[in-house]
Amino acid sequence: MKVRTHLPRSVRFGNFELDTHAGELWAGNEKVHLQEQPLQILMLLLKHAHDVVTRDEIERILWPGQSFGNHEDSLNHAIRRLREALDDPAAHPRFIETLPRRGYRFMARVEGLTPHPSTLGRSWSPAPFPGIESIAVLPFENLSPDPEQQYFADGMTDALITDLSKIIALRLISRTTVMRYKGTKKPLPRIAKELNVDAVVQGTVLRSGDRVRISAQLIRPAPERHLWVESYERDLGDVLSVQGEITQAIAREIRRTLTSTEQAA
């Protein structure tokens, strides 16, 4: 029995593309061999990307009407085959996170998905990483050889805080509070605990002449895991658009449904 996926024809993640109609997985121009059960598990995880899918739910789809306990070894085998196909070791996963004794979660960015009704009896979750309701933007670090350029890094921090504050559903720590962590050597989990936030934005700024390189990352501190990382290199005069790009990227990663007013802002 095949899973009703409600997925678009093409779904992309990492360097992979899944043709859901043909049931074919591609890595660039190379077709990846994937057996039927690992394929169905992948499609199920993608359909509920960033949400937990329990082992019972997977077994209910793959072996309808049968006792779950009889399929534990088969499910473990299918998951191993899927990880091998994706080159995704359980100890250091890029795509599939294992939640011991619970199930699995597809953790990577997925392109091509749209909200859809859930066949598991749940509505589509607006946030891919459950529990992320608050964020702190830590002071961006100046990597320029000239210490006088620190003002530029501080300006980037201020701009990002200002832009993210327009996301109404997100609790954002104020600039005054986060600036006391400027240059701190405290571990990230400790900072997050002190600020009582679910995720942290860190970044660096490197300015050379009329060019600037800005790197930013969104991190979940407990357990510490990178949710998003990106770098931007632009002409100095284009910095405002870079700030907007970073804000929108982070907003997409936390899957907030922005109102038209927030998008315009």
Q: What CATH code is carried by the domain that includes residue 15?
A: 1.10.10.10
pLDDT for 128: 40
Pair (95, 145) in one structural domain: no
Pair (69, 153) in one structural domain: no
pLDDT for 73: 84
Pair (165, 257) in one structural domain: yes
Nearest CA among 181, 180, 192 for reference residue 225? 192
Determine, yes or no, domain membership for 85: yes
Given the structure tokens 């995704």, which residue do they identify? 88
Pair (95, 156) in one structural domain: no
Pair (154, 203) in one structural domain: yes
Q: Where are the alpha helices (DSSP H) in the chain?
A: 36-47, 55-62, 72-86, 150-164, 175-178, 188-195, 239-253, 260-264
Pair (22, 66) in one structural domain: yes
Residues facing residue 207 across a β-bridge: 212
Pair (259, 189) in one structural domain: yes
Pair (84, 163) in one structural domain: no
Determine, yes or no, domain membership for 118: no
Pair (70, 142) in one structural domain: no
| pTM of this structure | 0.49
Pair (156, 225) in one structural domain: yes
Cα–Cα distance for residue pair 184/197, rounded to 1 Å: 17
Determine, yes or no, domain membership for 119: no
Pair (149, 30) in one structural domain: no
Look up residue 49 and give its amino acid: A
Of the candidates 106, 126, 156, which is a domain's last residue?
106
Q: At what angle do helices 55-62 and 72-86 cross, to 10 degrees?
A: 100
Handedness of CA 89, 95, 98, 99 (dihedral sign): positive
Structure tokens at 240: 């405002």
Determine, yes or no, domain membership for 210: yes
φ, ψ for residue 95, nearest 5 deg: -120, -50
Cβ-count burial 169-193 (b if 16+ within 10 Å, e if not): ebebbebeebeebeeeeeeeeebbe
As for how many domains the chain has, the answer is 2
Determine, yes or no, domain membership for 254: yes
Pair (254, 152) in one structural domain: yes
Determine, yes or no, domain membership for 248: yes
Collapse the DSSP code of 135 into the 3-class scheme (helix H, G, I; strand E, B; otherwise coil) and give the result: strand
Determine, yes or no, domain membership for 1: no
Q: Which domain holds residue 213?
A: 134-264
Cα–Cα distance for residue pair 153/141, rounded to 1 Å: 6
Which stretches in the chain have pLDDT values below 70?
A: 1-6, 65-70, 112-131, 168-169, 243, 247-265
Determine, yes or no, domain membership for 36: yes
Q: From residue 222, how far is each of 56, 77, 94, 187 by CA, in Å?
A: 26, 29, 17, 11
Q: What CATH code is carried by the domain that includes residue 232?
A: 3.40.50.10610
Cα–Cα distance for residue pair 28/49, rounded to 1 Å: 21
